[in-house]
Amino acid sequence: MDFNRRTVLAEGISLGIHESQSRMWENMIGRSRAFWQRWMPDLQGLFPTQLDGVDVERFYRAANKVEPSLIRVEADEVTYSLHIILRFELERQLIDGSLSVEDLPEAWNQTTQEVLGIVPPTNAQGVLQDVHWSFGAFGYFPTYALGNLYAAQFLTAIEAAIPDMWEQVAAGRTSEILQWLRTNIHRWGRVRSAGQLVSGITGADLDPGYFLSYLNRKYGELYSL
């Protein structure tokens, strides 16, 4: 698609697709057991005192601990989308006028209690933790949840295309994964819509079942569910 360079077609198709790339690398690969089988010795070399006696399995389980948390960007994979639901529900009320800005902090705390079972002790840990609303980025938060869904569906396709993917990750090799992403996702830019992209790659429309299967497989094993 070199002929599309310097045109809008060379840009990303959607924030959801953008987010799928970061969520895949940061969480699905970066928090995987295979990734840390390779990189744990390097991390211990940088932090010998802090990680003394910590083996790969212990670190992997700590990196994937599931518990309600106040800060979205620090949330685990399982509860992360609950933070997005919280913001989406409040944002919709702000837009339709059923919630005023002055009542937002109280509504935030109440909804956090309902969704996550915890209450922020301060607004800094609650309603003010994200900058999106303050600079007018409304309708943005769902892209984070969409990124999770796209990433899980793409991951299934990558695992099928590269049968030894996780062995490669454990050996510190990710170039074949990156090349798959460049060939199947990155090179299309805006030539294909997000829907066309995901259906063309996976043979199916966007389906949250892929993400649920990913969570059940990973965390079912971690927590013996």
Residue 7 has pLDDT above 80, yes or no: no
Q: What was the pLDDT predicted at 1?
A: 47
Q: In whole angstroms, what is the distance from residue 149 CA to residue 207 CA?
A: 7
Place 218 in a pLDDT band, splitting at 50, 70 and 90. very high
**What is the maximum alpha-carbon separation in the chain?**
55
- Domain range list for the chain: 13-68+143-222, 72-141
CB-based burial label for 201 (10 Å; 0-12, 13-18, 19+): buried
CB 155 within 8 A of CB 28: yes
Lowest mean pLDDT among 6-20, 76-90, 99-113: 6-20
- State yes or no: pLDDT of 203 exceeds 90: yes
pLDDT, residue 2, reads: 54
pLDDT score recorded for residue 5: 64
Contacts of 11 (CB under 8 A, 6+ apart): 189, 190
% of residues, the chain, pLDDT over 70: 98
Q: Reply yes or no on whether the pLDDT at 210 is more than 60.
A: yes
Instruction: Identify the band that residue 35 occupies on the pLDDT scale cut at 50, 70 and 90.
Output: very high
The pTM of the full predicted model, rounded to 2 decimals, is 0.91
Assess whether pLDDT exceeds 70 at residue 150: yes
**What pLDDT was estimated at residue 135?**
87
* Model pLDDT, residue 4: 61
Whether the Cβ atoms of residue 189 and residue 1 lie closer than 8 Å to each other: yes
Question: What would the pLDDT profile of 84-139 be if each residue is shown by its tens digit?
Answer: 999 999 999 999 999 999 999 999 999 999 999 999 999 999 999 999 998 888 98
Please give, one letter per residue, the 3-state secondary structure of 108-131: HHHHHHHHHCCCCCCHHHCCCCCC
173 three-state secondary structure: coil
**Mean of per-residue pLDDT scores for the chain:** 94
